[in-house]
Amino acid sequence: MIIHKSNYLTIDFIVEKEMFVLDWTNATLTEELYKIEFLAYAKMLETYKPRKVLIDASKSVFIISNHLQEWVNKNIISVAIKNGLKKTAILLTEEFVSRLSIELAFEEDKTQLIQRRYFDNRAQALNWLDE
């Protein structure tokens, strides 16, 4: 069931798997829009409490700044942990700088309370989440 849809992000909640699927588009984002989308995601985490998340950033060309990486860790990852998220699979873009910025954003989380892996293939990411 789709629980959030904008020009930038769609969040689908697969109830029987207790899983969110986040699909980022290739629409041009600003830091402010990125924060707005992630705050919407945080609200969905609090409401639905998924155990697993697939973040499909394969179409994204947005570069996450160091400042924004810290913001995600402080404002989003903490909410995910508090609401019981256990596993996150991240489907990465082929664009090098965007790819690296996504990896760095999630590496800011030093708690290791959420299992996290990066993928180039959606089916492999979904299989890992189902393990």
Its domain, for residue 85, covers 2-130
Q: Is the pLDDT of residue 106 over 60?
A: no
Number of structural domains (the chain) is 1
- The percent of residues in the chain predicted with pLDDT above 70, rounded, is 85
Radius of gyration of the chain (CA): 13
What is the predicted pLDDT for the residue at 92?
Answer: 84
2 pLDDT more than 60: yes
* Helices of type H across the chain: 31-48, 66-72, 78-82, 96-107, 122-130
pLDDT of residue 126: 97
Predicted pLDDT of residue 70: 86
What the block records as the tokens of 26 is 């290739």
Burial class (CB in 10 A: 0-12, 13-18, 19+), 4: middle
How far, in Å, CA of 130 to CA of 19, rounded? 10
Q: How confident is the model at residue 97 (pLDDT cuts 50, 70, 90)?
A: very low
CATH number at residue 24: 3.30.750.24
Could you report the per-residue pLDDT of 41-87, keeping only the tens digit for each? 999 999 999 999 999 988 887 777 888 888 988 899 889 999 999 99
Q: Buried b vs exposed e over 92-121: b needs ≥16 C-beta within 10 Å?
A: bbebeebbebbeebbebbeeeebebebbee
